[in-house]
């Protein structure tokens, strides 16, 4: 049974259609208005509780309203809120120091800004300055932001609103084994998708500054590249003097069971970008580089809100919480339990084509009997889950990948609640085909 829409929600929808740009879309045919959060739960304006298994797209990793982080932000808010980067402030400097310690050891120098788009835009600029080149390579199915250059580097057509983005980005096929753009199969393919990067480099000698990629593609539908892919790509890049930028917007800060997603492979990015979970919900982002690469950015660069005292204080408390609680291990353990449950569901419901992801960044692609993305069923499933008090995400070019990125502090009982509800929801939206014994 769907929940009736309240007068309050109707009024909020009216405000939205009157005063927000139409591009700002929301999940659900019958949406709720979220008001409050605690731990892994958010509450709507009618007081209904939802287990939040998307964390506002992988942001609230330490749980909503995490007391230590809230306290750090509130104390700073009461003391001094804003100065901008033209003055020295301790929280920003301490955060830069803490980030250098938290990230792989060769990444040491940070530039703070406020969003993932801005961090990626800055990283691309830094790559230009460091190499004296103007072009970039990005991957099919990627998403890197909403600014001109980051949208140009975004492979997902869904997120490319600009009809004429800058034309200095060359796309290599995404390393998507579940739906290989080259029609090949791993490992027989011998990573042909990586060879395509070499082809681009050979066709544009001395022109490419950097390749930008997500360690695990989030919006692309939770795409984990095959083993050896990034190692092979980085070898090629190095041979051509091209930098590697890892966009850790979704994969950063313990989400995948390691502190950063790229640490699953034997690679060393020259620049890494972070945002989302850095301050557990306050807007702060950064691009972080090696000393050598950072040294080339000497012309003035300022960001009004970059390294803002309140956000930096919250980020420091977030990093402390993550280290104290060893969230990367918690994510790994919880993921083991959740993944086994999802695989059990996939064995019952043939609409679930696969279960994929790393750590607590998991996806299940829903495919119709005719082999097409089951996006209509996906929307029904999302609505049924929401009515049952569970929030999940949807990603992928076919908008058909159930996406789970709960707070990393999710308990076993909450995982059971999620999987029970998922089971009931699949039962409701599909004709259940029980696999033969
Ligand atoms: N990179 C990735 C991988 C993302 O998922 C996103 C946002 N979903 C961005 C960049 C852009 O971040 P923002 O919305 O903070 O600009």
Q: pLDDT tens digits, residue range 126-170?
A: 999 999 999 999 999 999 999 999 999 999 999 999 999 999 999
Q: Which of 34, 41, 32, 81 is closest to 60 using CA atoms? A: 41
Pocket test for ligand 1, best of 55, 59, 116 (most atoms within 8 A of CB): 116
Pocket test for ligand 1, best of 59, 113, 262, 276 (most atoms within 8 A of CB): 276
- Closest residue to atom 14 of ligand 1, CA basis: 116
Cβ–ligand 1 distance for 175 under 6 Å, the answer no
Looking at the DSSP bridge assignments, the partners of residue 392 are: none
Could you read off the pLDDT of 376-408 as tens digits, one per residue? 999 999 999 999 999 999 999 999 999 999 999
Residue 431's pLDDT band (boundaries 50, 70, 90)? low
Mean pLDDT taken over the chain: 96
Tokens of 341: 């449950």
From the CA of 115, give the closest atom in ligand 1.
15
Q: Cα of 149 to ligand 1 centre, how many Å?
A: 13
How far is it, in rounded angstroms, from Cα 126 to Cα 268?
Answer: 17
From the CA of 117, give the closest atom in ligand 1.
16
Cβ–ligand 1 distance for 264 under 6 Å, the answer no
Spatial CB neighbours of 376, under 8 Å, sequence gap ≥ 6:
none
Cβ–ligand 1 distance for 115 under 6 Å, the answer yes
Mean pLDDT of 351-361: 98
How far is it, in rounded angstroms, from Cα 164 to Cα 53?
Answer: 36
Q: Is the model's pLDDT at 308 over the cut of 60?
A: yes
Cβ–ligand 1 distance for 214 under 6 Å, the answer yes
Cβ–ligand 1 distance for 147 under 6 Å, the answer no
What is the pLDDT at residue 4?
Answer: 73
How far is it, in rounded angstroms, from Cα 191 to Cα 387?
Answer: 43
Token pair 């929940």: residue: 3
- Given a contact cutoff of 8 angstroms between Cβ atoms, the answer to whether 321 and 314 are in contact is no
Q: Which of 271-280, 298-307, 427-436 has the lowest mean pLDDT?
A: 427-436
Model confidence, pTM: 0.97
Cβ–ligand 1 distance for 417 under 6 Å, the answer no
Query: In angstroms, what CA-CA distances link 405 with 9, 196, 283, 389?
Result: 26, 31, 19, 16
Mean pLDDT of 181-198: 97
Strand order in the sheet with 361-366: 352-358, 361-366, 401-404, 393-395
Pocket test for ligand 1, best of 23, 144, 155 (most atoms within 8 A of CB): 144
HSE (side-chain half, CA atoms, 13 Å) at 53? 30
What is the pLDDT at residue 75?
Answer: 98
């Amino acid at each position: 049974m769907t929940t009736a829409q309240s007068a309050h929600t109707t009024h909020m929808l009216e405000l939205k259609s009157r005063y927000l740009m139409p591009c700002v879309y929301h999940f659900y045919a019958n949406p709720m208005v979220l008001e409050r959060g605690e731990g892994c739960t958010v509450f709507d304006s009618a007081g209904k509780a939802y287990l939040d298994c998307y964390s506002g797209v992988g942001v609230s990793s330490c749980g909503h309203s995490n007391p230590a982080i809230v306290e750090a932000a509130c104390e700073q808010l009461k003391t001094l809120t804003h100065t901008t980067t033209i003055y020295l402030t301790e929280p920003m400097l301490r955060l830069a120091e803490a980030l250098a310690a938290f990230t792989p050891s060769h990444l040491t120098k940070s530039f703070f800004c406020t969003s993932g788009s801005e961090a990626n835009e800055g990283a691309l600029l830094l790559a230009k300055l460091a190499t004296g080149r103007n072009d970039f390579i990005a991957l099919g199915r990627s998403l890197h932001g909403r600014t001109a250059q980051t949208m140009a580097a975004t492979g997902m057509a869904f997120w490319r609103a600009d009809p004429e983005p800058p034309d200095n980005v060359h796309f290599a096929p995404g390393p998507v084994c579940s739906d290989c753009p080259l029609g090949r199969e791993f490992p027989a393919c011998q990573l042909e998708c990586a060879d395509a990067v070499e082809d681009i480099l050979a066709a544009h000698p001395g022109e490419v500054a950097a390749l930008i990629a997500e360690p695990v593609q989030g919006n692309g539908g939770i795409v984990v590249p095959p083993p050896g892919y990034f190692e092979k790509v980085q070898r090629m890049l190095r041979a051509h003097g091209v930098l590697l930028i890892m966009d850790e917007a979704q994969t950063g800060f313990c989400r995948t069971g390691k502190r950063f997603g790229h640490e699953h492979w034997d690679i060393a990015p020259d620049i890494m970008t972070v945002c989302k979970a850095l301050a557990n919900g306050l807007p702060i982002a950064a691009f972080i580089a090696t000393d050598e690469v950072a040294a080339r950015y000497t012309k003035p660069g300022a960001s009004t809100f970059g390294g803002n005292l309140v956000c930096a204080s919250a980020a420091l408390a977030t990093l402390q919480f993550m280290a104290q609680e060893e969230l990367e291990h918690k994510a790994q353990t919880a993921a083991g339990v959740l993944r086994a449950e999802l695989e059990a569901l996939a064995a019952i419901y043939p609409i679930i084509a696969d279960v994929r992801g790393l750590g607590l960044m998991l996806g299940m692609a829903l495919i119709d009997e005719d082999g097409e993305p089951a996006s209509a069923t996906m929307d029904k499933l999302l609505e049924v889950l929401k009515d049952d008090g569970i929030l999940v995400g949807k990603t992928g070019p076919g908008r058909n990948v159930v996406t789970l990125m709960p707070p990393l502090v999710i308990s076993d009982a909450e995982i059971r609640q999620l999987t029970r509800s998922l089971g009931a929801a699949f039962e409701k939206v599909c004709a259940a085909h029980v696999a033969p014994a």
